[in-house]
């Protein structure tokens, strides 16, 4: 799935005042909770088909993208005013990362299990290599999708000349909100559509 690109990070740095230390905390938290999520979500992965897992993860991914959309429109200001500054932008980002991180690798595990089960005994290594290539293609497609979305919805960050201090590019986040909404909708709709198409074709699987 395409992402919002660097514009969201620029917005978080310039408008929400996130810094490198806070991004490091988010990254560490995501890594730890991803490992925990793999363990805790084993029953979910074991008892459901790949198609169902993808649909559930698509819905969850779209829901968990909503805080970013909300903060662009000032949701964190409202929650901060209600809670005396406790539930601010950083608090929302931490909670959202904690909820989102365990889902990151969940879809890959049953897929790898499916490959191991269905690959011919003498071609398992080849099957894994081929599917790894498809994974790389998916990452490339995601990057291309992100690029094209950023060409449609332009987001710029302020750039100053290092010598003169003259502003060379002005910051413009006016289209970031609609970009985030489009990414959220694509995250929700595209996987479900493809699951529906595949499940109604000869490539349907019950695994």
The answer to whether residue 193 scores a pLDDT higher than 70 is yes
Residue 72 is predicted with a pLDDT of 94
Average pLDDT over residues 25-52: 81
Compute the average pLDDT of residues 124-132.
81
Dist CA 3 CA 187 (whole Å): 9
Per cent of the chain over pLDDT 90 is 37
pLDDT bin (cut points 50, 70, 90) of residue 189 is very high
The pLDDT assigned to 75 comes to 92
Tell me what the mean pLDDT of segment 161-190 comes to. 89
In terms of pLDDT, which residue wins out, 6 or 135?
6
pLDDT at site 207: 57
User: Which residue reads 């929400």 in tokens?
Assistant: 16
Tokens 């750039």 appear where?
A: 159
Mean pLDDT of the chain: 85
Q: Is the pLDDT reported for residue 28 higher than 70? A: yes
Q: How far apart are CA 119 and CA 131, in angstroms?
A: 11
pLDDT at residue 10 in the model: 92
Residues paired with 167 in a beta bridge: 160
CA–CA distance, 15 with 9 (Å, rounded to integer): 10
Q: How many whole angstroms separate alpha carbon 4 and alpha carbon 69?
A: 11
Which pLDDT score, from 0 to 100, does residue 104 have? 65
Classify burial at 139, counting beta carbons within 10 Å of its beta carbon; exposed 0-12, middle 13-18, buried 19 or more: exposed
Domain 6-199 classified CATH 1.10.10?
no
CB 155, CB 179: distance < 8 Å: yes
Asked if 102 contacts 36 with a C-beta cutoff of 8 angstroms, the reply is: yes
| Tens of pLDDT, residues 77-97 | 999 999 988 899 999 998 888
Per-domain residue ranges of the chain: 6-199
DSSP E strand boundaries for 88-134: none
Q: pLDDT tier at 70 (50, 70, 90 boundaries)? A: very high
pLDDT of residue 205: 63
pLDDT of residue 160: 79
Work out the end-to-end distance of the chain between its first and last CA atoms, rounded to an integer number of angstroms.
23
Is 101 exposed, middle or buried (CB count within 10 Å of its CB: 0-12, 13-18, 19+)?
buried
């Amino acid at each position: 799935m395409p992402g919002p690109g660097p514009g969201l990070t620029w917005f978080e740095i310039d408008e929400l005042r996130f810094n490198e230390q806070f991004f490091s905390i988010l990254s560490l938290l995501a890594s730890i909770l991803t490992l925990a999520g793999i363990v805790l979500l084993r029953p979910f992965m074991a008892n459901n088909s790949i198609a169902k897992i993808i649909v559930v993860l698509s819905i969850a991914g779209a829901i968990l993208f909503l805080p970013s959309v909300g903060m662009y429109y000032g949701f964190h200001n409202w929650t901060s005013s209600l809670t005396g500054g406790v539930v601010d932008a950083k608090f929302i980002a931490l909670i959202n990362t904690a909820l989102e991180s365990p889902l990151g690798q969940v879809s890959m595990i049953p897929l790898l299990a499916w490959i191991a089960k269905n690959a011919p005994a003498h071609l398992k290594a080849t099957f894994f290599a081929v599917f790894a290539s498809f994974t790389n293609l998916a990452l490339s497609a995601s990057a291309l999708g992100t690029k094209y979305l950023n060409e449609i919805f332009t987001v710029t960050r302020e750039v100053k000349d290092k010598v003169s201090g003259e502003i060379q590019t002005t910051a413009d986040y006016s289209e970031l909100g609609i970009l985030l909404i489009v990414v959220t909708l694509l995250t929700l709709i595209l996987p479900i559509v493809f699951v529906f198409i595949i499940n109604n074709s000869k490539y349907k699987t019950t695994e």
